[in-house]
Amino acid sequence: MMAVAIVFWLGCEAAKYRRAADEEVFDILKQRQEEVLGSSAPMETKFATRKPTDVNGTSIILDRFSRHTNRVLTLPDALELAVQGNRTYQFNREKLYLSALSLTGTRHRFALKFTKAETDLGVTRGKDKGLDGSSDASVTLSKLMKTGGTLTASLANDLVLYFDGKPKVPSLTLNLTQPLLRGAGADIATEVLTQAERDLVYEVRDFSHYQKTFALEVVNDYLDLLQQGDSMRLSYNNYTNRLFFQTEVNARVGGGLQAEFNAKQAQQSVYTAKISYISATNAFQNALDDFKQKLSLPLGTDLRLDFNVLEQLDEIGLPPVAVSDEVGYYLAITNRLDFLNVIDRFEDSKRKVKVARQDLLPSLSLIADASLKDEFYSSFQPEDFSATAKVKLNLPLDQLTERNAYRTSLINFERQVRTLATQLDKLRDGIRADVRNLERQRQNYSTQLDALKNAEEELLATRERLRLGFAGVRTRDIITAQDGLLAAQQALSRAMVDYHKTRLKLLKDVGSLDTTQETFWLKTDPASAVLLGGNAVGASEDVVPPNIILGE
């Protein structure tokens, strides 16, 4: 029974420790997120309320075999499922939690705390075969001060004397150690705490930036799936059109209006269209399975997508992003949380040089202690205590380790300078590429729109010439025109999706994309374009001659 009680008590204690850790970590994260981001986000996970013993491999295996039929997965639903189940997202959320948990340990090092509590119980058998009991109890309280010093208080007593009727005053020992050179000063002594606090801020920023990047990845994957589905439909329409055209050609061949080889060409075009459709179907299903894995859904789940999103994108057209590469670069430096981390880590490297430089100093410490021991209550005199104050100097004769650490800190600083410059260049390069790509995608869409109109007209005209018996018009011309129409239809669908993906990427890269808004992928918000400044990209349809680009 006692063993059962102990196990039950340990289980309760473990649950208490977990709750205490979660409460402290969540409070820290809420505070830091509000300071850095202006708002906080929940940190609950899928298994947060379940005991590890309640989760077994069999249930996970069975869950992966489960099937859910006839489910329409909207884009907002996909985003919600991805946040709840994506494994990489959960890893990054746990990484943020662990950073805050590590900070609690660092803070605890500077807290006033009991570091030791001991009780010794024993029985001693003497030469006279008698038994003597012994019982000592002690407790130690310590405090690591932000000046670099350490304060320790110890209390000890012999409990056996209470039972013998001769109780002693508990022995009390106080000790203070304060460095005066090496390790002295609040900025030096608390560097580990400062860095831990800053590391958590970095994690909060990184996670926030990752959330935007992840949301954009889900949107892009969903749009790609819609485009693939639309392309599959176009392939199927092309296949049915080939069947219809084959029937027409066979009738013309049967009526003696065309030669036999035209029927063979029409049949071959049907085979080609069928294979193309099957290939498009397979590609779509594989992409859909990949998307299910991203959402951590069982692959047996039967999903249907919301193709209204493509219609909504078509309705808003190609909204420009009114930002030049220079303005976007300034915005990114100001708004990109991940880039703010690069700047702050540069500042960290400067502090590390200061700390390493001070470690080259001799160790000079002020040591003071006072103790009150072996006093009985009957003769207790509080002024009868012993005290010592001294200065301890340690002249290091071998400082190779410290020398190397200092030199390393200088090199790390120089590396961080180069890293900052490199990241600045990469940031601007990315913005410039985004602006150019958006213009290219806009021109591509406009060109594909004209190409589709031309392909439709070409097919209609070729069909009409064939039916009217124009000389030189063959079945192969119709097949070629059908191929051109399918390619133009698919290219136009791809161009529209690519433009919106590039637009969203540009907004994210300059730090202006707010993924917390509903249907943020459809937001155009003309007021923000005014705030961004600059001129709208894509103001001209003309192709730029190479001599302008080459500066000739």
Tens digits of per-residue pLDDT, 327-367? Answer: 999 999 988 999 999 999 999 999 999 999 998 999 888 88
d(CA 245, CA 227): 26
Residues 40-77: tens digit of each pLDDT: 655 555 555 556 555 555 555 555 555 555 678 999 99
Range ranked top by mean pLDDT from 18-27, 154-163, 319-328, 444-453:
444-453
3-state helix, strand, coil in the chain (%, to 5): 65, 15, 25
The tokens of 119 are what? 């009780």
pTM of the model: 0.81
Residue 46 has a pLDDT of: 54
Band of residue 240 on the pLDDT scale cut at 50, 70, 90:
very high
The tokens of 164 are what? 């013998």
Residue 281 makes CB contacts below 8 A (sequence gap 6+) with 232
Label residue 112 left, alpha or beta by phi (over 0 means left) and psi (-120 to 50 means alpha): beta
Torsion of CA 49, 54, 59, 61, to 10 degrees: 90
Angle at 125 between CA 119 and CA 129, to 5 degrees: 155
d(CA 144, CA 402): 23
Alpha-carbon distances of 189 from 144, 196, 403, 410, 470, rounded to whole Å: 9, 13, 19, 20, 93
For domain 194-345+414-550, the CATH superfamily is: Outer membrane efflux proteins (OEP) (1.20.1600.10)
As beta bridge partners, residue 114 has 141
- Which strand (E) or helix (H) includes residue 131? strand 131-144
d(CA 86, CA 97): 17
d(CA 58, CA 55): 9
- Which strand (E) or helix (H) includes residue 197? helix 191-254
- Over pLDDT 70: what percentage of the chain? 79
Residues 225-239: tens digit of each pLDDT: 999 999 999 999 999
Residue 65 makes CB contacts below 8 A (sequence gap 6+) with 298, 300
